[in-house]
Amino acid sequence: MDYLGNQFGLLLVDKPAGLTSHDVVNQARKVLKTKTIGHTGTLDPFATGLLVLAIGRATKLMPYLNNHDKTYEATMILGLETDTLDPSGKVVREENCENIRKEAIFKALEHYTGTFYQEAPAYSAVKVAGRKLYEYQRKGLKIPAMPQREVSVYSYENIDVKDQKAGKIKVSFTVKVSKGTYIRQLAKDLGAYLNIPASLVALKRITSGPYSVTDAIPYEKLMEGNLSIIDPLAGMGFSKIVMSDDITKKIDNGAFVEREYFPDESDTIIYDKYGKPVAIYRFDPERKVMRMAVKLL
C-alpha cells in the first residue's frame, strides 16, 4: 500500500533485556528520522519481547492499540521478594517454601483467574497526587494511597513447577491478560495467596492484540536500519468503506456523515478513491449519525 512509510505504520521490535522501552523508541527515531513515534505498552528493562511502535500519523491510533490484550511468558520465584518485584531490585523478604505443594500453586493460579482489582506495584509509573509511584519510593515519601485498577487474567498455560535450591520454587507459565495488568504484581499476589514472598525473575511479551513477537525484528536489525513497516489498520478488524470525493471533503472538515452510507454501526475506516485512509468514524447514538473518531490524513 503506497500510504505506508516512515510517517504512517507500525514497527514490531523484539526488545532485549537491559534496554528501556524509551531506548528502543529513541533508536527508531534516529533510524526513521522522525520524533513522532510512540509505543503501546512499556516493558521494564529486565523484560524482553514484543514492543509495538506506532510511527508518524499512526500514533493517532494509540487509543485503539493500547486497548489490546497481551500474552506473556513469565517465570517467578516463590520464597523471595525484591522491592521492585523483579531481578533489578533488592531482596526484602526471603523464606523457605519447600512445604508448598503443586496443588496449592495451581489453586493460587485459579484464584487469580478472571476479573479483579489489582494494586499497582510500588515501583511503577502510575501517578498518585501528581507523582509517579517510583518517585515516592526513591525519595522515601509516604504514598497517600495505593491505586488499584480492574484487570482480567484470562488463562494460564504451559505451567511448570520446579523445586530450587534453598527451599525456593520456580514457577513458569504463559498468561493472557487485559491491558494494564502488571505481571510483577500478579507474582506478588500469587505469593501472598500462598502466604510466602514472590517475585518475577523473567518476563517476555509474546503477543499484543493481533501482533506477535514472532513477526518482530531483533533490536540489532533496528540499529542497522533493516526495518519492516506494517499497515496499522490491517489488524484492527474494523469495517472498511471507500467514499467519493464529495464525502471525503466533508470528512476532511470533520463533518458528520449519514448512517446510510455505512455497512453497519461499528467503527469504520474510510478510504478515498485512491486507497488512502482518511479517517475512522464511529456511530453517535444520540444524533443517529456517524462521527469522526480519528482523522488519519
Q: Which are the catalytic amino acids?
A: 44
Spatial CB neighbours of 281, under 8 Å, sequence gap ≥ 6: 251, 257, 262, 267, 268, 270, 290, 291, 292, 293
- CA 118-119-122 angle, to 5 degrees, is 145
For 66-81, give the DSSP string: TT--EEEEEEEEETEE
- CA 101-107-108 angle, to 5 degrees, is 95
**CA-closest candidate to residue 269, choices 281, 257, 258:** 281
For 229-244, give the DSSP string: -B-TTTTS--EEEE--
151-175 CB burial, b ≥16 within 10 A, e <16: bbbeebeeeeeeeeeebbbbbebbb
Beta bridge partners of 279: 270, 295
Contact 34, 48 (CB under 8 A): no
Which is it for strands 198-208 and 48-56: parallel, antiparallel or unpaired? parallel
